[in-house]
Amino acid sequence: MSTALFDLSGRRALVTGSSQGIGLSLALGLGRAGAAIVLNGRDAAKLDGAVAELRKEGIAVEPAAFDVSDAAAVKAGVDRIEAEIGPLDILVNNAGIQRRAPLEEYSVETWHELMRVNLDSVFYVGQAVARHMIGRKRGKIINIASLQSEAARYSIAPYTASKGAVKNLTKGMCTDWARHGLQVNGIGPGYFATPLNQALIENPDFDAWLRNRTPAGRWGRVEELQGAAIFLASSASDFVNGQILYVDGGVLATL
């Protein structure tokens, strides 16, 4: 009975930005828990490689290449998935970018680029998918927030702003959509070894700082986010709503 709570068999999940890194790992975890997967990204060739990787695991998976920062492309892409692949039971809003620079030097163009991908896409995809879920009176939406939803570091103030907004948009989605049977929550990863963080991983000073700052004493491994995603995508979380689950090795727990 207890394991049945986490069984995703018969459910379909769309994971945005899932051709590599955290998104691909989350898709893999959800697929291993029984879900059929729709992988999304902008690079069709990279997406095909990720699809092949999941199919080797015996996971039912289809690609859906569209730009999540383009509202019209999102609507068309989600409507096509619903019509041609099947209804979505789970959405993971994972797509995101990082652009580092001192705030006083940050260009307006880069600010808008980052906000389109990190924040606007959560609204665009969340709304497009929720419109279908509302009619079915059920659905799970998981927004990928960040440790930076709560804390800032030098040179990433816009990223911090975008992820803080994702945290509160998650609460807003819950407030509007819980009455329709949807659960909307978020995962806040700490520092994980991903392509997005490669420059930090290769910086000896930052690497030493991170290991000393984190009670667990190390970088996170992307597969360590899978359990949180499975929980929030499954029946085990049916009365969990509007929450951010931080998976950070204890960073936020300590000064």
CATH code where residue 66 lies: 3.40.50.720
Q: Is residue 45 part of a domain?
A: yes
Q: Which residues contact 153 (CB under 8 A, 6 or more apart)?
A: 160
- pLDDT reported for residue 3: 86
Answer yes or no: is 81 within a domain. yes
The 3-state DSSP class for residue 87 equals coil
Give me the pLDDT at residue 1, please.
52
Element (H, E) at 154: none
SS3 content of the chain, % helix, strand, coil (to 5): 55, 15, 30
Domain count of the fold of the chain: 1
Task: Characterize the bridge pairing of strands 61-65 and 36-41.
Answer: parallel
The answer to the question of residue 168 being in a domain is yes
**172 in a structural domain:** yes
| Domain that residue 168 falls in | 3-194+221-247
Q: Give the burial class of 182: count Cβ atoms within 10 A of its Cβ; 0-12 exposed, 13-18 middle, 19 or more buried.
A: buried
Compute the distance between CA of residue 63 and CA of residue 61 in angstroms, rounded to an integer.
7
- The verdict on residue 212 lying in a domain is no
Strand order in the sheet with 61-65: 61-65, 36-41, 12-15, 90-93, 139-144, 182-189, 244-247
- Distance from the Cα of residue 18 to its chain's centroid: 9
The mean pLDDT values, 10 residues at a time, for the chain of 255 residues are 88 97 97 98 95 97 98 98 98 96 98 98 98 98 98 96 98 98 98 87 95 97 98 98 98 95
pLDDT at 198: 87
Q: Is residue 204 part of a domain?
A: no
Q: List the one residue out of 94, 174, 165, 95 whose CA is nearest residue 139.
A: 174
Could you tell me which of 222, 220, 221, 206 has the C-alpha nearest to residue 251?
A: 220
240 is a domain residue: yes
Show the beta-strand stretches assigned E in the chain: 12-15, 36-41, 61-65, 90-93, 139-144, 182-189, 244-247
Among all chains, which residue has been given the structure tokens 């730009």? 67
Residues with a known catalytic role: 159
